[in-house]
Amino acid sequence: MKAAVFYYTQSGQALDAAKSICGQMDAVYKRIMPCQPYPFPWSRKEFFQVFPECRLALPPSGIEPVDFSDVMDADVVLVVGQSWFLSPSLPLQSFLSDENVKNYLKGRNVVFVNVCRNMWLKTSQKIKEYMEEAQARLVGHIVLQDNAANLVSAVTIIRWLIHGKKEATRILPAAGVSGEDIKGASRFGNVIENALKEGDLSGLQSALLAEGAIKYKPSILAIEKTGHRIFGFWAKFVRKKGGFGDNRRQGRLTLFYYYLLFVLFALSPLGQLFFWATYPLRRVKHNRQIDCNV
């Protein structure tokens, strides 16, 4: 079975995940190349500069032309990337907004793979919108996430993104998705290939979920839902001072940076406590079914 794999990566982690999943398939890998380059490691200024456009789905550039000639006969398409600021990364948004990409995806079966920290829900919902716009069939959704505690993963991801240090220390685990989880993702490729051989992808997501394609963390996702709304207000507030790269908005981005630190390390632990204190009143099973399906 042949897979067309479109991926964006800075650290190489998303490509490693894609290769693990597609290990047994005939896969053609296509790197997504945005016209607007993004650094890695980032500076703090560069990282927060992308926030408003990412949250408001306003990518500042398109992508370099993609050659589809060798993937026209693909049986399935994998789109592999990550979340930035509770939204699809800007390179993913640029890719999925491209008219040639939408023409290619039309009528095709697509599996989205998110290699992220631990908040993936709003990215998933936005990807569904892109698929509907392209008239593609989103048949699967896989989340590979950092399994460290929320505050620990926040520290390690900042250390990795800003300082380029991924490795474990005496007190901190390695940043990102574990090598064991990436290696274990090969089982999802087996599920996809079996569904393709049977010629029926209608039950693919259920089969992927049975293999652990999404580790559902309801308290984290409850925080994400609230954060996504608040991020929208902040993004519009910053954009009032100018578009992408405009130095006039730097003061507001700095305010957002300190706000985010306060939320991460002061409010989010309280938010999780409140969630578990009110757990009996929440429809976790119902939400899980909606959130994890395609």
Q: What is the pLDDT of residues 30-75, one digit of tens each?
A: 999 999 999 999 999 999 999 999 999 999 999 999 999 999 999 9
SS3 81: strand
Give residue limits of the domains in the chain.
2-216, 219-292
Measured between alpha carbons, how far is 73 from 95 in angstroms, rounded to an integer?
Answer: 20
Tens digits of residue pLDDT in 90-139:
999 999 999 999 999 999 999 999 999 999 999 999 999 999 999 999 99
pLDDT in tens, 223-270: 999 999 999 999 999 999 999 999 999 999 999 999 999 999 998 999
CATH 3.40.50.300 fits 2-216, yes or no: no
Q: Would you report the helix, strand and coil content of the chain in percent, each value rounded to 5?
A: 50, 15, 35
The whole-angstrom separation of Cα 186 and Cα 142 is 12
Confidence band (pLDDT; 50, 70, 90) for 281?
Answer: confident
